A and B are shown apart, each in its own frame.
Chain A
């Protein structure tokens, strides 16, 4: 008799972690086979990847720079997922934040100490504004937020490249498709790593505390778990949905502000670099916990960082995107497979 599988409703974190490690190894194996098949030496590439990510100063700096926006977009998607909402529009809110910050940074002269907070404020407000319509549509008319938030991503990307190529384009150096360099920038404290990194870290930790240790966070969680019970218990579910979605838009926008003012220093098309979409990946990996956003963002940053190395080896950015998809897919599979365990077949009663 065949072995049966039994589904465990809850599993230990160690078990899940083991399956995830297995999934990542499997993705690595497939990637290696693919690279070997296309005539590259996987061992050489692996050596290169390790040396230029965690094995060198520059690699670690890049890792931190990738992690900064991922922590914020990951947290943005995580907090909405707590209330049962999928904000797929972090990419658009990221652009909105960058646009808002660029408007201040490019056109308002002043000392950095005044301008930077203003940029952050303008960026956050723009991000909140960007998610406002999907928020109201969801809260008051029950319109599916996955689609509305997502469609605005395309609008935001178009608006950004319009501004960067059109009215805001660089008139000094004549650089194509970008604005001039911002006069102020977030100061760096370790190589290329700017203060946005520790700030993002602190924000995620504060959010983790807010969600896990306050009544507000508890109300959000209950509203997400069972909105009817929450309403019956007197929790203003609609107000919580609005607050969480606006906060999410603000967080994703802040990622855009940090990327603009800390790393890229100019507004250009493609600035968001899929960080909004990867934020969804981070959030799903984090399984709704703000604290888990940190290791999830680290993993995602490592994948992106490796991707840059692979690009120097004539592998295109699209190949890297495909590898990311593969990793994601296998982790999703592993997460669920971790719930199953084989049980010995029941002994048939002997006649």
Chain B
């Protein structure tokens, strides 16, 4: 029983990391008022570039860096279209997803099925990892897990809610016209945070192939990008909440694994539906049960609306 719980929680933390990282990136983009629906494609590109890099130079950090830079490059293209030219965000996001899924499968064709030669190994934290159940799951993981669950959300929370710059960037997402009038450079803030968010999506793809499922195949991302987008809403656009919801989702994934491993009398297809149905329940149930949640969890007011100075 203990072994089962430990294994489940360990899988949950590992699986949730992908979503937590991508969701954190999207929190940043959406906080400045841009919906990036391209996460799925960016993750896919990150995943394949990470594999190609580590096959060439067996160094996981280089792979992760390449994945992050790929995400950033894709994000810059997306941000150029949506922030500078102010093209339709939904359309551009879908275009990035199509491009990313298609291009990654094309360039990854020769790498399909090759296990990544290096992965991020475990670096257990002494003492803490000896705690039963929780220890191995939270403190016996690879370095990225600690980064994703602690360092990055802490940094993002600090930035968003405890600095003047964070106030400015939230203002850009809530009321770009007012921010502009106050002298905040709306376009450049949007551009760089969308790029940063996309870089994290690329990194999430890299994490996927370097730490979680260490082999590339077409369709590897399997909707995780879209789930990350949903988690952002569920988390009410908050970094730590996004991380926690990633973990919660990881638990559902782990449950599906356990079900399959133990031959529960449920078809695998239904177990595989759990994450999607669970995510839906996550974003519907809270607002239905607690009406106050709707205001607390509200999206940035200018989310998805391009800002034109001359038609304000």
- On whether the beta carbons of B287 and A333 are closer than 8 Å, the reply is no
Residue of A nearest to B279 (CB): A151
Q: Which residue of B lies closest to A151 (CB)?
A: B276
Q: Please tell me if the beta carbons of B99 and A333 are within 8 angstroms of each other in the complex.
A: no
Q: 26 pairs across A/B with beta carbons < 8 Å?
A: A137-B284, A137-B287, A142-B287, A143-B283, A144-B299, A146-B37, A147-B226, A148-B280, A150-B230, A151-B279, A152-B280, A158-B269, A158-B270, A159-B273, A281-B94, A284-B88, A318-B101, A318-B109, A319-B102, A324-B98, A324-B102, A325-B102, A326-B95, A329-B95, A335-B88, A336-B86
B92 and A147 form a contact (CB under 8 A): no
- Tell me how far the C-beta of B213 lies from the nearest C-beta in chain A, rounded to whole angstroms: 17
A147 touches B106 (CB 8 A): no
A161 beta carbon closer than 8 Å to chain B: yes
**Does A7 lie within 8 Å of B81, measured CB to CB?**
no
Q: Are B279 and A159 in contact (CB under 8 A)?
A: no
4 new A-B contacts, CB < 8 A, other than A280-B94, A323-B102, A328-B91, are A140-B288, A148-B284, A166-B267, A325-B98
A154 B102 Cβ-Cβ under 8 A: no
Residues in A whose Cβ lies below 8 Å from that of B37: 146
Size category, B interface: 35 or more
Q: Which of A137, A325, A336 has the most CB of B within 10 A?
A: A325
Point out the residues of chain B lying under 8 angstroms from A316, CB to CB.
105-106, 109
Instruction: Decide if B122 is an interface residue (CB 8 Å cutoff).
Output: no
Choose among A86, A133, A158, A322 the residue that contacts B280 (Cβ–Cβ < 8 A): A133
Give the CA-CA distance A158 to B276 in the complex, in Å: 11
Interface size of A by Cβ–Cβ distance < 8 Å?
45
A153 to chain B, nearest CB (A): 8
A347 close to chain B: CB less than 8 A: no
Whether the Cβ atoms of B99 and A325 lie closer than 8 Å is yes
Determine how close the nearest CB of chain B comes to the CB of A51; give it in whole angstroms.
24
A152 lies within 8 A of B284 (CB): no
Q: Determine whether B209 belongs to the interface, using a CB cutoff of 8 Å to chain A.
A: no
Say yes or no: is A162 at the interface (Cβ < 8 Å to chain B): yes
Question: Does chain B have a CB within 8 A of A332?
Answer: yes
User: Is B147 an interface position by the 8 A CB rule?
Assistant: no
Closest residue on chain B to residue A329 by CB atoms: B95
B94 touches A151 (CB 8 A): no
What does the 1/0 interface line of A155-191 toward B look like (CB < 8 Å)?
Answer: 1001101100010000000000000000000000000
Q: Is B210's beta carbon under 8 Å from chain A?
A: no
A33 at interface, CB cutoff 8 A: no
Closest A residue to B86 using CB positions:
A336
| B7, CB-defined interface residue at 8 Å | no
The A-contacting residues of B in range 154-210, CB under 8 angstroms, are none
Interface residues of B in 70-128 (CB under 8 A from A): 81, 85-88, 90-92, 94-106, 109
